[in-house]
Chain A
Amino acid sequence: MNVWFVFSILLLLCLIPCGLVSLRGAVMERMLALQTAQIIMVFTILLTAEGLHRTIYQDVALTLAIMSFVSSLAFIRFLERWL
């Protein structure tokens, strides 16, 4: 249990408000909470990888950072008019 894990657990707790907002409210507010949760997850994976001393796990965070951008743009494009 080092300092990296302490902060990654704190970040995991921060997912709870995002989850609450994702479950209620207007559609775009849910989208916004989902986007925040994705950013928090990138940080959590990054800190966990550092705490475990596994550089290779940082690739997961890198991939999630790129894919969250692309997926959000796709979601937003459809939420604009058709959904």
Chain B
Amino acid sequence: MSSYTVVLVILLSLGSLGVVISCLGILIMPGAYSRLHYLSPAATLGTIAFAAAILWTEGFSASGIKALLIAAILVSTSPVLTHAIARAVRIREFGQWKVLPSEKEE
């Protein structure tokens, strides 16, 4: 097994690990707020590892740059989505997202 294959399998395994953690977290954790945390392993660890694997194979060709572009899009949009979903959950729960008078610290 060449060193190329070893590095490739390690990168792909890291990415798959992120995705598997994400899936299991989504399946197991109770409630929307806890599940929200498990969106990021797939979107950060998974994306970066898979993009690195493609870049390792292809180099900076059209294919490698496209993988980098996908990684950049997913990494930058995932926090926005997480925030938007958390906001939506709170609005569904309380009717507004601002701090309620009962939650203010004295």
Contacts and interface: CB of A to CB of B under 8 A. Distances in A.
Interface residues of B, number: 47
B16 A17 contact: no
A39 B70 contact: no
Contacts of B20: 14
Interface of A: 3-4, 7, 10-11, 14, 17-18, 20-21, 26-29, 31-33, 35-36, 39-40, 42-43, 46-47, 50, 55, 58-59, 61-62, 65-66, 69, 72-73, 76-77, 79-81
Given A11-B16, A11-B19, A18-B26, A39 B88 contact: no
Given A11-B16, A65-B73, A18 B66 contact: no
Interface string B46-65: 11001000100110001100
B23 to A, nearest CB: 4
Nearest to B51: A46
Contacts of B15: 7, 43
A73 B32 CA distance: 17
A39 B36 contact: no
* Interchain residue pairs A-B with the least CB separation, the first 7: A17-B27, A69-B77, A17-B23, A14-B23, A80-B88, A55-B63, A28-B32
Contact of B74 (A3, A11, A65, A72): A65
B36 A32 contact: yes
Contacts of B58: 50
Contacts of A46: 50, 54, 67, 70
